[in-house]
Amino acid sequence: QVQLQQSGPGLVKPSQTLSLTCAISGDSVSSNSATWNWVRQSPSRGLEWLGRTYYRAKWLEDYTASAIGRIIIQPDTSKNQFSLQLSSVTPEDTAVYYCVRGWNWFDSWGQGTLVTVSS
């Protein structure tokens, strides 16, 4: 049974960097059969996939085009976790953020973190 446990602040100031971490139990961030994703949800944008990291002989990342340049998703193999960094946030980045295991679909979700961007 895979469990994903999210951590990170719920309030970020505009122009600063949003940072969240997802600790994995019951699977490995280095798995060859999964990807490790961040998805966010807001009333205005619905469910939005942000990006993923995964290991296929080397570490790879994919990001949604609208976030390229300000997003980093990276693994931490020593702690079996992965993280999200989203820089230069604005109020439009206010959302519930989920870490998610998947490949073509998403079968295990973290508990969600409401991140509010406000001064």
Partner 1 sequence: DIQMTQSPSSVSASVGDRVTITCRASQDIGTWLAWYQQKPGKVPKLLIYAASTLQGGVPSRFSGSASGTDFTLTISSLQAEDFATYYCQQGKNIPQTFGQGTKLEIK
Smallest separation, CB 16 to partner 1 (Å)? 25
Interface with partner 1 in residues 18-57 (CB under 8 A): 46-49
Cα 71 vs. chain centroid, distance in angstroms?
10
d(CA 31, CA 36): 10
Token look-up 């994995």 returns: 24
Minimum distance from residue 71 beta carbon to partner 1 (Å): 12
Q: Which is nearer to partner 1, 46 or 119 (CB)?
A: 46
Please pick, from the candidates 32, 65, 118, 119, the single residue that binds partner 1 as defined by CB under 8 A: 65
Q: Say if CB 15 and CB 119 are below 8 A apart.
A: no
Closest distance between partner 1 and the C-beta of residue 58, in Å?
Answer: 18
Enumerate residues 80-109 that contact partner 1 by CB under 8 A: 98, 102-107, 109
Q: How many CB atoms lie within 10 A of CB 78?
A: 7
Distance from C-alpha of 114 to C-alpha of 78, rounded to nearest angstrom: 27
Residue the block writes with tokens 């340049």: 69
d(CA 110, CA 96): 11
> Applying CB under 8 A, which part among 22-30, 71-79, 85-93, 110-118 lies near partner 1?
110-118
CB of 90 to partner 1, least distance (A): 20
Question: What is the contact surface with partner 1 in residues (CB under 8 A)?
Answer: 46-49, 62, 64-65, 98, 102-107, 109-112
